[in-house]
Structure 1
Amino acid sequence: VIKGNRLKNIEAFGFYGMSSLKSLDLSNQMLENISQNAFLGLRSLLTLDLSHNNLYKLEDGVFNGLHSLRSLDLSNNFLSIISPRVFNGLTSLQVLATDEFKFCCLVNPSIQCSPEPDEFSSCEDLMSNIVLRFCIWVLGVIALIGNVLVLIWRVKLRATNRVHSFLISNLALGDLLMGVYLMIIACVDFYYRGVYIIYDNNWKKSNLCKLAGFLSTLSSESSVFTLTVITLDRFITIIFPFRINRMKLSQTVAIMLFIWFLCICIAGIPLLNIDYFDNFYGRSGVCLALHITHHRPNGWEYSVFVYLVLNLTSLALIAVAYIWMFLFAHSSRRAARSVDVGKTDSTMARRIMIIVFTDFFCWMPIIILGLCSLHGIKIPSQVYAWVAVFILPLNAALNPVIYTLSTPLFLGGAKRNMFNFHASFLHSETQRSSLGSYSCQNNEAKNRFQRAFILDTSPPHNKRNSKRFKDRNKTKFNENELTSESNSKNSRLEESHRLSARFGRTKLSSKQESPKLIVTADPCTSRAKNSQHPDSNLELKIRSRESKIYKQCNYDQVERKDDNSKITHV
């Protein structure tokens, strides 16, 4: 036993020749460095105590020759650098005491090693349980999307009860922060997958872990306090509708500003550089300051006050208020002899039961486990993990459904939007199919109009015009230069043929000046406009084949100018 000396270094072969030594106590020294093969020759050594020193690193070969060693104590040192193979030669080791669990990952799992791993992490992953890993992703996504939808809905909604809508928006904002916290933990678990234990200490002391713990506490407390204010508003409205004035919007804003300030202070005080809150949010890999274990770390009294005393008081007020409201509404309907009293009471009771049950389901297990831990009852690590990762954030995912997404106002608006979208979709599909079939008919109609209307109006005995008449089939119709002023409906192709035949039978005298005609090849309309022509005011009104869809054609009237020939009406 060399206990209590001022040793700083142990050189190689420092204990060579002491082959019969069974126990060696080097605790409470000032050891800073141990060289390789320092304990070589201690073949019979069973116990080695190196606790309460200043060791900061252990290199390969430090414990060479200790094949019989069964117990090794390295606690209360400053070890930060340790070789992964430093314990390989300790084939008989049974007990290992260290300051951090990550050193236990370097030895056989059958060895009794302290400290124990936290309730969430393993040597490989931040979230060792695959089911919990899945739950944290699902709850995080639901909390984010659900509360964002609530905020957007409340901003767009012009509610008559602006106070209630404002309170629900604040509740959604608090629950949204819980969704951000869950996504931070999920992403860190994914980033350190397989190598987490190497970075365990760095992660717990990082600013991101502190931010995650701050958001978790801020979200939890703001959600509980906002639910209390919502319950108070409903309680005054139902129980004292005439004796007490309802909260005004300005009063509600002032109350919520005070609540947010209070919650920020509660969550931010542990971040101050105070010894009492040393590593307050870094107690576990998920950065929670929740105290439901038998351990007594720094700041555990503060955690008990926040998560047990404040929350239990708020939940008790919420439960008493909702039960009172239900009994009051039930007695009022009985006195009024309402016909639908049974149906109304059952609906109201079901809604109140859901609200109270979800609040108590999320918080009462935490409160019960906290009370058990105060009495020294050891809570299984798996129970702590499920409570902290699944039950605590569950309220943030359920509140949007209970207070907004399941209300008749939201459901009615959603149904109307879905109906309008469905009707618009059907209308667009019908119009697309109809216009597709019409387009094919439209091209064929244009070709027929071209053959029907490209005619010469001069008499046949005129040589010049006769030549044009003979070459009329060679004339090409330029549809880009022919338009109409008409605002009429879609046409039947059969009417266009009859009208073209009618134009063909029109006769002009040889002395009559050939009138100019503006003609369109569009199948929608065709108009002959000339004051001297008997059919100059004729307008072709053509309806669509589809009974419900009409296409209005509106083209400007133009005259085709050609140096060699003019398109005129016969």
Structure 2
Amino acid sequence: MLEILALNDNNIESLPSGIFTYLHQLQSLYLHGNRLKMIQSNLFNGLTKLVRLNLANNTIESLQTGVFRDLQQMKELYLHGNKLKVIQVDLFSALLNLKNMKLGDNMIESLPSDVFRYLPQLKKLWLYGNKLEEIQIDLFNSSTKLEKLFLHDNFIDSLPSGVFRNLHQLQELYLHDNNCTVIQVELFHGLSKLKKLSLNNNSIESLPSGVFNLSSLSYLSLQFNMFKTLPSALFKDLVSLEELRLDGNRLTEMPIDIFHQFNGMTLEVLTLRSNKIARLFPYQFSNLTALTFLDLKDNHLEQIHSKSLYGLTKLKFINLRKNSLTKITKDSFIGLALQNDSYITLADPAMCCFLEPSNRSQCVPQNKKSPYLTCKQLLPSAAVKCCTWIFGFCALFANIVVFIWGCQQIKSESQGEKYVKQIVFITNLALADLIMGLYLLLIASVDQYYHEYFPSYAKHWRRSMFCKLIGFLSVLSSEASLLLLTLIAVDRVWGFRKNLIRHKLFGQKTQIILSTFTWVIALALSIVTVIFNDDQLYQFSDVCIGLPLARSKIYASNYTNFTISYDFDIPDDHFWLQRFTEIGSKAGNYFSIGIFLGLNFLLCLIIAMCYILLFIYICKSGFALMKTDLKMSIKMGAITLTDLMCWLPIIIVGILAQTGVKELSPEWFPLITTFALPINSVLNPFLYSTVDQVSKHFVHRLRPNCYTEETTL
């Protein structure tokens, strides 16, 4: 005999009366997914052994009283996904053994208070997705065995006290996605076995203390309501609570003792994301000794006070992304004991620096980690800080002296006095080196300002206009200096070659024109560094100069499921971690490589070749040379040597990094940018005077016929 009949997912529009009359042994009848609009009142007559009837996902608009009169053995009835508007009071009067009934996703606007009185065995009732605006206080009086009740996705704006008073066996109650604004203090009283309660996506503004007198409750969702604050004693009776969800409200802070009022030995999951929480109190979570999952994402937290996370000894995952955290220090995570399988997510990789060194590998930042990140201050040690200040002052004031002296010499020459060769170049070189001294002092000042807080401000600092201004000065100084030294080298070679056949050096006007052209080029290159945003040029550089000392790539983000999974009812609440895949280089990186590795390498090569030729001219020429020319050439050669000492290490390290041969440890980057880069700017003004003594000694060792006494050009 036929026991199961499946006619589901067809295009059946109607069924004639008596079609099932002789199927006396039928137990399961599946008619869901058709186009049935009406059910004949005697359609199921004779199906006395039917225990399961599925009429879901049709277009049924009404059901006549008596349609289920022979279905006394029915245990499961599915009517969801139809267009039912009205339920007759006696419609289910014959279903004395019914245990599960789905009436969800219909158009029911109200239910008679006695509609469920003939369903004493009912355990699961689905009324979600209708148009219910109110619930009669006596609606569930006879449903004493009800275990699960689904009332979500309706238009319920209030629930009378006592509506659930007889539901002593109720374990799960879903009231989310309604219009509730007020919850009566006695609404849930008597629900001693309730384990799961969902009130999210309502319009509740406040809750009275004592409303959750639910000793068996393990899951409570209050997400996406309108709470601005919560009573300190709100959760004091929730002695079995394991998961508390408070996301998407308007909470500005949690009362300091709100988690001290109940037994925190059971709470494992606490989510507070998308609120307006601006601060956490010390020892706020200290009572939550069993907590494994804490979500504080997307709040207004600017700092984490010392010991705010104290006592979280079993925490496996904490999410602090999308906050305004800028005032984090090493004291912020005191008392946070991360286990080997624990993780903490933060927006900026620099924030991971304030964790204990043993826990930093368990920090998962939202953004990719910079290879320049060392978890130290802007200038990493006292020695570097001290040297930066000294170098900055030396470069600034010594070059000011040389610049003033050069201006006086130019003025004297214009008045017909003795002309100092290459004085225009020397004066402009002093100006370029002076700017480098200013750059060093600004970097040292910023380091002093941020001090130990710098890692938490690093991202904001790199994006600031002040950082771009400092970067502008560093590029302007370094490129102008290198271009001027190239001109000096070419000028000396050209001058010596012409002097050998009695020609003169470049005159003052020519030097002025060439110097002006040099500053135009350096200025143009510097302006480009301001046009590029920080993610293109300064993405890795805290000292605001985009030296290509590490490979810079574009990263495409993708998400992988977090290894710690929780069985949340709402799929959107699963956590995913952002990973990065390298897909290509940025335009800013190409610019940095082209300037600092391409152009500067070419200029250094020209300088080296010029002075090799100059040395050859001096030692092998059979012509008489002026003593002053020889001294000046030795002096400028020493100055140029310091410039090569500055740029060659940077160029070599950059080429090795960009070709993937070898990348230096990030700890070396501040040393390179604060020591190697400005070395020539610091030494040049001193070389103007000290090299004279060396050059005199070298001149006297040459053959007497290698030079003659100085003559006026």
Q: Which residue of 1 aligns with 2:518?
A: 259
Q: Using the alignment, how far apart are the partners of 1:348 and 1:264 within structure 2?
A: 29
Partner of 1:143: 395
Amino acid at match of 2:242: G
Does structure 1 retain, via aligned residues, the 8 Å contact 2:328–2:456? no
Q: TM-score, normalised by structure 2?
A: 0.46
User: How far apart, in 2, do the equivalents of 1:397 and 1:254 lie?
Assistant: 26
1:357 aligns to 2:609 (yes or no) = no
TM alignment of 1:347-426, pairs within 5 A: 354-376=638-660, 377-403=662-688, 406-407=691-692
Secondary structure at the aligned position of 1:69 is classed as: coil
AA at the equivalent of 1:369: V
> In 2, are the aligned partners of 1:146 and 1:400 still within 8 Å (CA)?
yes
Between the aligned partners of 1:21 and 1:379, the Cα distance in structure 2 is: 48
Q: Is 1:156 matched with 2:408?
A: yes
Paired with 1:155 and 1:41, the residues of 2 have a C-alpha distance of 72
**Which deviations, in whole Å up to 9, do the C-alpha atoms of 1:414-473 show, x marking residues without a partner?**
xxxxxxxxxxxxxxxxxxxxxxxxxxxxxxxxxxxxxxxxxxxxxxxxxxxxxxxxxxxx
SS at match of 1:406: helix
1:408–1:63 CA distance, 2 compared to 1 (3 A): closer
- Output the amino acid matched with 2:346: T
Deviation at residue 118 of structure 1 after TM alignment: 7.7
User: In 1, Cα distance between the equivalents of 2:519 and 2:633?
Assistant: 31
Q: Aligned residue for 2:544? A: 287
Please give the alpha-carbon distance, in whole angstroms, between the structure 1 residues aligned to 2:677 and 2:355.
34
* Cα distance in 2 between the residues matched to 1:40 and 1:194: 31
Partner deviation per Cα, 1:278-311 (whole Å, 9 max, x = no partner) = 4744744322222212444762221111111111
Change (3 A) 1:22 1:244: farther
Relative contact order higher in (CA < 8 Å, ≥ 6 apart): 1
The alpha carbon displacement at 1:205 in A equals 3.7
Q: Output one character per residue of 1:34-76: Cα deviation in whole Å (capped at 9) or x when no partner.
A: 898999979374x7788xx74553878997885323454655x
Alignment match of 2:301 (pick from 57, 64, 79): 57
The separation in 2 between residues aligned to 1:360 and 1:65, in whole angstroms, is: 56
- Pick the aligned partner of 1:80 from 293, 318, 325: 325
DSSP-derived class of the 2:400 partner: helix
TM-score, reference length from structure 1: 0.57
Counterpart-to-counterpart distance in 2, 1:117 and 1:109: 17
Q: CA 1:30/1:321 → structure 2, altered by over 3 Å: closer, same or farther?
A: same
Aligned to 1:324: 613
CA 1:119–1:131 in 2, change beyond 3 Å: closer, same or farther? Answer: farther
- Identify if the C-alpha distance between structure 1 residues 202 and 315 changes in structure 2 by more than 3 Å, giving closer, same or farther: same
Structure 1 residue 100 and structure 2 residue 348: aligned?
yes
**Structure 2 matches for 1:532-547, cutoff 5 A?**
none
Contact 1:43 1:65 in 2 (8 A): no
- Say which SS state the counterpart of residue 549 (structure 2) adopts: coil
Aligned equivalents of 1:182, 1:359: Cα separation in 2: 17
Relative to structure 1, the CA distance from residue 66 to residue 235 in structure 2 (aligned partners, 3 Å threshold; closer, same or farther) is same
Pairwise mapping of residues 185-334 of structure 1 onto structure 2 (< 5 A)?
A: 185-197=443-455, 199-241=457-499, 242=501, 246-272=505-531, 275=533, 277-278=534-535, 280-281=537-538, 283-296=540-553, 299-333=588-622
CA 352–266 in structure 1, closer or farther in 2 if over 3 Å, else same: closer
Q: Which region of structure 1 is more displaced relative to structure 2, 352-361 or 305-314?
A: 352-361
SS in 2 for 1:407: helix
The change in CA–CA distance for 1:283 and 1:86 in structure 2 (over 3 A counts) is same
Contact 1:210 1:282 in 2 (8 A): no
Contact kept? 1:147, 1:173, Cα under 8 Å: yes
Bigger radius of gyration among the two: 1
Residues in 2 aligned to 1:130 and 1:69: alpha-carbon distance in whole angstroms: 36
Amino acid at match of 2:338: S
Aligned partner of 2:407: which letter? V
1: CA distance between counterparts of 2:422 and 2:632? 18
- The runs of 5 or more residues in structure 2 that have no matched partner are 1-200, 202-221, 244-263, 555-585, 697-713
Letter in 1 for 2:620: S
Q: What's the counterpart of residue 524 of structure 1?
A: none
Alpha-carbon spacing, 1:293–1:56, altered in 2? closer, same or farther (3 Å): farther
Structure 2 CA distance for partners of 1:196 and 1:112, relative to 1, 3 Å: closer
Over the aligned positions, Cα root-mean-square deviation in angstroms equals: 4.8
Amino acid at match of 2:351: F
Contact 1:174–1:219 under 8 Å retained in 2: yes
Deviation at 1:86, TM superposition (A): 6.5
Task: Work out the CA distance in 2 between the residues paired with 1:145 and 1:120.
Answer: 32
Distance 1:151 1:357 in 2: 21
Amino acid at match of 2:487: V
Query: Cα distance, 1:137 vs. partner?
Result: 1.5
Residue identity over aligned pairs, in percent, reads 28
Change (3 A) 1:195 1:315: same
SS at match of 1:267: helix
- 1:321/1:187 CA distance change after superposition, 3 Å: same
Give the corresponding residue for 1:467. Answer: none
Please state if 1:109 is matched with 2:339.
Answer: no
Partner secondary structure for residue 111 of structure 1: helix
Instruction: For structure 1, list consecutive stretches of 5 or more residues without a partner in the other structure.
Output: 1-5, 412-570
CA distance in 1, matches of 2:387, 2:466: 21
Residue 425 of structure 2 aligns to a residue whose secondary structure is helix
Cα shift readout 1:129-161 (whole Å, capped 9, x = no counterpart): 111112112211211222122122223334544
1:155–1:131 distance in 2 versus 1, CA, 3 Å: same
Question: Distance in 2 between the 1:8 and 1:302 partners?
Answer: 48
**Compared with structure 1, are the counterparts of its residues 347 and 173 closer, same or farther at alpha carbon in structure 2 (3 Å cutoff)?**
closer
1:165 CA displacement? 0.5
Taking the aligned partners of 1:21 and 1:305, their CA distance within structure 2 comes to 60
Counterpart CA distance in 1 for 2:478 and 2:674 is: 13
Code of the aligned partner of 1:129: S
CA distance in 2, matches of 1:344, 1:269: 41
Superposition deviation, residue 177 in structure 1: 0.3
Which whole-Å CA distance do the structure 1 matches of 2:517 and 2:469 have between them? 22
Q: CA deviation at 1:403?
A: 4.0
Q: Which of 129, 132, 136 is equivalent to 2:381? A: 129
After superposition, give the CA deviation of every residue in 1:85-117 in whole Å (9 maximum; x if it has no partner): 774563234544423255335432321255678
Counterpart amino acid of residue 310 in structure 1: L
CA contact (8 A) 1:163 1:252 kept: no
Contact 1:48-1:71 at 8 Å conserved across structures: yes
Residue type matched to 2:691 in 1?
S
Deviates more, 1:130-139 or 1:216-225: 130-139
Question: In 1, Cα distance between the equivalents of 2:349 and 2:421?
Answer: 51
The amino acid across from 2:427 in the alignment is S
> How far apart are 1:217 and its partner, in Å?
0.9
Contact 2:375 2:455 in 1 (8 A): yes
Give the C-alpha shift of residue 185 in structure 1: 1.7
Structure 2: how far apart are the matches of 1:71 and 1:253? 65
Maintained 8 Å contact 1:236/1:246: yes
1:330 counterpart SS class = helix
**CA apart distance, 1:20:** 13
CA positional deviation for 1:271:
1.7
1:435-474 matches, within 5 Å, as: none
Count of matched residue pairs: 394
CA contact (8 A) 1:204 1:284 kept: yes
Q: State the one-letter code of the partner of 1:43.
A: A
